[in-house]
Amino acid sequence: MTEDHHPSGAPWRNFYGRFKGKGLRKSQEGYLDEDLAKFSPGAVGWEENPERTPLDLTGLFGDRDVWLEIGFGGGEHMVHQAVENPDVGIIGCEPYINGVAMLLGKIRQAEAQNVRVHPGDVRDMFDVLPDQSISRAFLLYPDPWPKKRHHRRRFVTPEHLEPLARVLKRGAIFRVATDIPDYVRQTLEQVPGHGFEWLAEGPQDWRAPWEDWISTRYEQKAFREGRTPHYLTFRKT
Of 4, 35, 56, 143, which is the active-site residue? 143
Q: For residue 36, give the nearest of 92, 81, 76 by alpha carbon.
A: 92
With H, G, I as helix, E, B as strand and everything else as coil, classify residue 88: strand
The torsion defined by the Cα of 20, 231, 210 and 191, in degrees rounded to 10, comes to: -90
CA 103 to chain CA centroid, nearest Å: 13
* Ranges of H-type helices in 20-113: 26-35, 57-61, 76-84, 97-110
State yes or no: is 127 an active-site residue. no
Exposure string for 155-190, b = 16+ CB within 10 A, e = fewer: bbeeebbebbbbbbeeebbbbbbbbbeebbebbbeb
Active site residues: 143
